[in-house]
């Protein structure tokens, strides 16, 4: 079974710190990787996508991908209380179908 694994948390960080969220996936052939943020009672919001090994930065967010280790991470710099949410890692494991397989999500709490 193709899987995406995340630590469920909660991950608690103080305001201004760096939050590090991690995700592993089982299908070595996966090509597309995404991070979604989901506030309670809301639908997932796409915050980062990454397709190549290395880092991709967008504002306070950095996604990191290591296909050899089947590992993708999200760093949030200068964490704010408004970043408190569940972060979902999602992977396209079948390029033909292009459907997302989601991890269970990591709940992030940023303490003011």
Partner 1 sequence: SAVISQKPSRDICQRGTSLTIQCQVDSQVTMMFWYRQQPGQSLTLIATANQGSEATYESGFVIDKFPISRPNLTFSTLTVSNMSPEDSSIYLCSVEISPEGGSGIYSYEQYFGPGTRLTVT
Nearest 5°: CA angle at 89, between 22 and 30?
Answer: 100
Sign of CA dihedral 76, 79, 80, 82: positive
Looking at the chain, the number of H-run helices and the number of E-run strands are 0, 11
Shortest gap between Cβ of 93 and partner 1 (angstroms)?
Answer: 11
In the region spanning residues 81 to 100, those forming contacts with partner 1, defined by CB under 8 A, are: 88, 90, 92, 95, 97-100
Among 23, 24, 25, 34, which residue interacts with partner 1 (rule: CB under 8 A)? 34
In the region spanning residues 40 to 59, those forming contacts with partner 1, defined by CB under 8 A, are: 42-46, 49, 51
Q: Check binding of 102 to partner 1 (CB under 8 A).
A: yes
Is there a contact between 110 and 52 (Cβ–Cβ < 8 Å)?
no
Residue with smaller CB distance to partner 1, 45 or 57: 45
- DSSP-assigned beta bridge partners for residue 71: 24, 66
Nearest-angstrom CA–CA distance, 78 and 103: 25
Among 14, 16, 18, 31, which residue interacts with partner 1 (rule: CB under 8 A)? 31
Q: Footprint of partner 1 on this chain (CB under 8 A)?
A: 31-32, 34, 36, 42-46, 49, 51, 88, 90, 92, 95, 97-105
């Amino acid at each position: 079974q193709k899987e995406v694994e995340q630590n469920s948390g909660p991950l608690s960080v103080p305001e201004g710190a760096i939050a590090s969220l991690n995700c592993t996936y089982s299908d070595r052939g996966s090509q597309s990787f995404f991070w979604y943020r989901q506030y309670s009672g809301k639908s997932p919001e796409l915050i980062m996508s990454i397709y190549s090994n290395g880092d991709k930065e967008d504002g306070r967010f950095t996604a990191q991908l290591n296909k050899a280790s089947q590992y993708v991470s999200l760093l949030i710099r200068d964490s704010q209380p408004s970043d408190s949410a569940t972060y979902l890692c999602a992977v396209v494991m079948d390029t033909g179908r292009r459907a997302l397989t989601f991890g269970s999500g990591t709940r992030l709490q940023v303490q003011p």
